[in-house]
Amino acid sequence: MPKNLVIVESPGKIKSIEKYLKTLAKNSTNPNAARDTYKVISSYGHIRDLPEKGGLQIEIENSWKPNYQILPDKTKRVESLRRAAEDVERVYLATDLDREGEAIAWHLSEVIGGDPKRFIRVVFNEITEAAIHKAFAEGGSIDLNRVNAQQARRFLDRVFGFEMSGLLFKKIGRGLSAGRVQSVAVRLIVEREQDIRAFNPKEFWEIFADLQASNHDAPQRFQLYTTEQTKFNIATSDAADGVIAAINGADLAVDSITTKQSVSRPSAPFKTSTLQQTASSQLGFQVARTMRLAQTLYEAGLITYMRTDSTSISDDARNAAGQLIQRKFGSDYLPDSPNLYENKEGAQEAHEAIRPSDVQLEPNVAINSLLLPVLRNRRGDLEPAARLYELIWRRFVASQMTVARYENTTVAVKAGEHELRLIGRRTLFDGHRKVAPTRSGEKEPAEIPLYREGESLRLSGVEKKQHFTQPPPRYNEARLVRELENRGIGRPSTYASIIATIQQRGYVKSIRKRLHAERIAEVVTNRLAGSFTEILSYEFTADMERHLDTVAEGARDWLHLLDAYYKEFEHLMVAALGDDGMPPNDPIETKITCESCGRPMNIRVASAGTFLGCSGYSLPKAQQCRNTIDLKPDELSVESKSDQVTDDGDNVEDDEEESRRLLAKRTCKRCGGAMDSYIMSENLKVHMCGNLPQCPGYELEEGKFDVPGYDGPTVGCNVCESEMQLRDGRWGAYWACTNESCKNTRKPLPPDNRPAMVPIPMKELLVDDTDDYFVLREGKAGIFLGASQYPKIRVIRKPSIKELQNHANEIEPKFQFLLAGPLEDGEGNDVVVKFSRASQSHFLATERDKKETGWRAYYNDGKWEVVERKPKGNSRRVPA
């Protein structure tokens, strides 16, 4: 029986930590070291939280007393944690070292219970033998200040989100949500969208001349020199032709040669935000993917903790980097004194920067020795994880190297009143660039041939290029993280969840890696900013983050902080709920006639999108008309497709694509903003103001229009055998039959949007305590039985093989293999069908008293193979 229980957040850490704790016991000077054994288990993240349903779940008037409950999917996990902790002397809480990890440790101690003195908090920044041994030697108690800071954040998020979401439901419409940080992040994207619409692109032209010296093998491309002020002097094609004529008629000779030296300093080691930004621009990774892969590298012992806003490194790490640089590159690449990087003022969670745990493990060695064993069953993650490790390794090593030195040369050529310039750069010493070469998309001047002042040059060609000034670029994920960090909004542990939340809630859509605000996001932001001006400000959100920091430092009482913020919020909420408070989301009446009833159609903006709905919808049920028209954007409203990647990680046709589209759009006669165009039919197009619904401007255009054709995937209709197409409706993607007399639709399933199986009624299977029956359905987690009246009756369960065999003729071919599975295990328990999210495949199992027996079967090579787990954890495989 182990004397010590160690609880970690993620199961990926268990093997490494167990290995290092065995050596700790073995090397102990304690004579009883052989008995001092450790068992490591995982909590799989949070185990307890405020319930999602049932109201606020916080008694504000009772000193903010929370109604914490065990998470529904963690009940069995908590039972196993309690059993494991029953007979041990010490429980080591080895959750992550940020505030969230501190809170998880506190919840674990509260739920497991027992003598509080047996709980020991251990923290480590990396999963290495030395770090684990040091953490367990210096174990302490849970930091309640940090726990209270996390609770304060959670409570404020719940109160603001719960009450503002209820307000939006009442005033704007269903399916809307708001949040303390979420709504501020959406505001950033909405304001950028509005800035783009208000932008007026200006035309200008660039002139290039190919000039060749008599002793050179090929001409070099010179460019007409302009400043930010003078570049608009060439604002038309005719003006550009005038400059070209002047160049063609001039005697071209080198007027001056200027040489200057410059240096490039290395960047600081990664912190969370810069890792996310660089992985986006150089590797093309989304923020969530970067953090998931970084978590894998951390658990494998390859890098330090990946949620940090510090660029500091330990002396040991700096010395190890210096030794590697000396050995691998030589003393010229080591600076005379160590490179030190300042942290941003107010940086929290100030542990180390993200760096390799052992810099001596170069990428190839580290990947083969530590990463490959961890990812044997996740081969798809091996290559991207390896690329991310190399990025981190190179950035850290480069950060400890010398500057790169360059010689920059500018050759100027007079062409009448104009000047042509050629700029080149020669590397004198590559320094840190030896390890961190030029990043993808970054343009650097090339080395140029030698010139002499006064020598004549021959003109071999002149070219003009049209350009337009560009509106502010839309945020991509990395750019949004940078903006949030610069404004002090959020913390390293929250950036990824903020970005995920605003997309999941339907406020923001990522189109070719650029974040676009949905129309409903503008409505909600406008209303919230009007009713909660202070709370939705960037300064308020940043100040709250700083106040939470003071709670974590023990400098401020967390309950006083909560009371102060809630008092201000409650006053604004009462005003917003009043009749003169937040204005409703009224529809905009048009002159378009409803084909069903002849009444006017209204422009409506809802969480499902912008559409036309009959004005008769609000009438009593007997007179009501529910006709709607989905609007199809014309070509100007659709993002152009491209494979070109900019240095910010964007996928765009060219940097001026947005400007060209703005120039092609109509201008709203009411407010002057750009209008969006939608094709309603072959003969009718509607142009709506981009500032809708704040501006009700719209115009109808009659003519002949090309309705966009369909070039997407197709499947056969299970009802009439016609073709089904994948369409994007107001409620998301769906499969629709193209046969007008067949109204069949089907639900698409990830990851490839294949249609879900046709539901099979199983009327012989009754739902307990109801008059309903089960239907066999397919969802994201495989096939399951659900009540036919779902969601009114929310009952689901797994089907047994016996139950499936009663409907063998109705089961689709792709699931026929399930019917070949065994009906019972060796003890007479019915076999049920389950689904593994990890492998995205079905397997079989048996249960007794609602608990798995350990009997399982997997489908391999065309047959079912049974795995029977014995009590000691051994397994044996037998044919089914």
pLDDT in tens, 214-273: 999 999 999 999 887 787 789 999 999 999 999 999 999 999 999 999 999 999 999 999
Rounded distance between C-alpha atoms, residue 294 and residue 563, angstroms: 38
The listed CATH number (2.60.40.1730, 3.40.640.10, 3.40.50.1000, 1.10.460.10) that belongs to domain 170-199+473-577: 1.10.460.10
Q: Has domain 272-399 been given CATH number 2.30.30.100?
A: no
Asked if the model's pLDDT at residue 318 lies above 90, the reply is yes
Instruction: Report pLDDT digits (tens) over 666-699.
Output: 999 998 888 999 888 888 889 999 888 889 999 9
Q: What value does the mean pLDDT take over residues 186-208?
A: 94
- The reply to whether CATH 2.70.20.10 applies to domain 203-258+408-425+437-468 is yes
**Averaged pLDDT, 800-811:** 91
Kindly give the interhelix angle for 477-486 and 495-504, rounded to the nearest 10 degrees.
120
Q: Is the pLDDT of residue 304 over 70?
A: yes
Q: Which residues pair with 782 in a beta bridge?
A: 779
The distance in angstroms from the start CA to the end CA of the chain is 36
| Cβ contacts of 560-565, under 8 Å, gap ≥ 24 | 561/152, 562/64, 562/152, 562/155, 562/156, 565/156
Rg, the chain, Cα only: 32
For position 349, what pLDDT does the model report?
45
Residue 424 corresponds to which amino acid? G
* Residue 641 structure tokens: 């497709």
Q: Calculate ∠ Cα 316-317-322, nearest 5°.
A: 95
Cα 83 to Cα 1: distance, rounded to the nearest angstrom? 12
Neighbours of 212 (CB within 10 A): 16
Distance of CA 767 to the CA centre of its chain: 39
Nearest alpha-carbon partner for 264 in 439, 390, 478 = 439
- The alpha-helical segments, DSSP class H, found in 283-370 are 287-299, 315-328, 363-366
Q: Let me know how long the chain is.
A: 880
Chain centre to alpha carbon of residue 295: 15
Look at residue 249 in the predicted model and tell me its pLDDT.
94
Distance, CA of 58 to CA of 151 (rounded, Å) = 11
Cα–Cα dist 428/404, whole Å: 8
Once rounded to an integer, what is the mean pLDDT over residues 326-333? 96
Largest Cα–Cα distance of the chain, in whole Å? 99
Question: Mean pLDDT throughout 347-373?
Answer: 82
Residue given tokens 């060219």 in the structure block: 654
pLDDT at 865: 87
Strands 4-8 and 38-42: parallel
**What's the rounded Cα separation, in Å, for the pair 294 and 357?**
13
Q: How is the chain split into domains, by residue range?
A: 4-142, 170-199+473-577, 203-258+408-425+437-468, 272-399, 714-754, 758-879
Instruction: Give the phi and the psi of residue 585 in degrees, each rounded to 5.
Output: -95, 75
Task: Count how many Cα atoms sit within 13 Å of the Cα of residue 478 in the half-sphere of its side chain.
Answer: 21
DSSP 536: T
Contact present, 714 and 724 (Cβ < 8 Å): yes
Q: Which tens digit of pLDDT belongs to each residue from 128-182?
A: 999 999 999 999 999 999 999 999 999 999 999 999 999 999 999 888 999 999 9
In the chain, what percentage of residues exceed pLDDT 70? 91
Rounded distance between C-alpha atoms, residue 300 and residue 748, angstroms: 36
For residue range 704-716, list pLDDT tens digits in order: 887 666 667 888 8
Model pTM greater than 0.95? Answer: no
What's the CA gap between 840 and 848, in Å, rounded? 25
Is the distance from CB of 711 to CB of 724 less than 8 angstroms? no
Please give the pLDDT value at position 809: 87
Of 444-453, 540-549, 866-875, the poorest mean pLDDT is in 866-875
Specify whether 678 is catalytic. Answer: no
| Choices 3.60.70.12, 3.90.1310.10, 3.90.650.10, 2.20.25.10: CATH for 758-879 | 2.20.25.10
Cα–Cα distance between 402 and 325 in angstroms, integer?
10
| Residue 384, pLDDT score | 92
Cα distances (Å, whole numbers) of residue 782 to 471, 757, 777, 836, 863: 46, 10, 8, 9, 19
Q: Are strands 609-614 and 203-213 parallel, antiparallel or unpaired?
A: unpaired
* Confidence label for 755 from pLDDT (cuts 50, 70 and 90): confident
Which residue among the candidates 20, 38, 305, 451 is catalytic per the annotation? 305
DSSP assignment of 579-596: TTSSPP---EEEEEEPTT
Spatial distance between the Cα atoms of 244 and 242, rounded to a whole number of angstroms:
5
4-142 and 170-199+473-577 share one fold:
no
Q: Regarding the domain delimited by 4-142, which CATH topology (the fold level of the hierarchy) does it fall under?
A: Rossmann fold (3.40.50)
- Which residues lie closer than 8 Å to 145 by C-beta, 6 or more apart? 551, 552, 553, 554
- CA-closest candidate to residue 708, choices 821, 630, 786: 630
